[in-house]
Amino acid sequence: MRVDPHRLTSVTGPLHAGDDAAASVAESHVVNVAGLISVPFAGPAAIRATVASVLLSEGVDIMSSRKALRHGTPVYVRADSAAEDVIARLREISVKMVPVVEGFDLLGFFDISDTAS
């Protein structure tokens, strides 16, 4: 599903591939990146927790850090981050896909190519 980044602040619910929630509009709601996960991670809970722990301890939350990223730095984004802000930050740092973490759980991956330009 293609998502227009200019409408992300007006969609009332999470957008999953094939979800009709995109049709409902309310100006005061912000879509979190968790609702736009392109590739859900369906592995065992232990693996999801391990990957999330490594990302949280060794990686950089792209929304909370504005420092320059070195090549090879693992990056992630928290599930409650505003999708519009995540899209802008991914374009700024030239990253196409980013893991989405909630607590100590890897939810999946957000792919910027799934959003309309």
Share of the chain above pLDDT 70, in %: 71
Q: What is the DSSP string of 60-76?
A: EETTT--SPPPTT--EE
pLDDT of residue 35: 83
Q: Tell me the pLDDT of the chain averaged across its residues.
A: 74
Report pLDDT digits (tens) over 83-98. 999 999 998 888 889 9
Question: How much is the pLDDT for 116?
Answer: 61
Neighbours of 114 (CB within 10 A): 16
pLDDT score for 85: 92
Q: Is the pLDDT of residue 15 over 80?
A: no
pLDDT value of residue 37: 85
pLDDT tens digits, one per residue of 58-80: 888 888 877 767 777 888 999 99
CA distance 11 to 15: 8
Q: What is the average per-residue pLDDT within 5-30?
A: 38
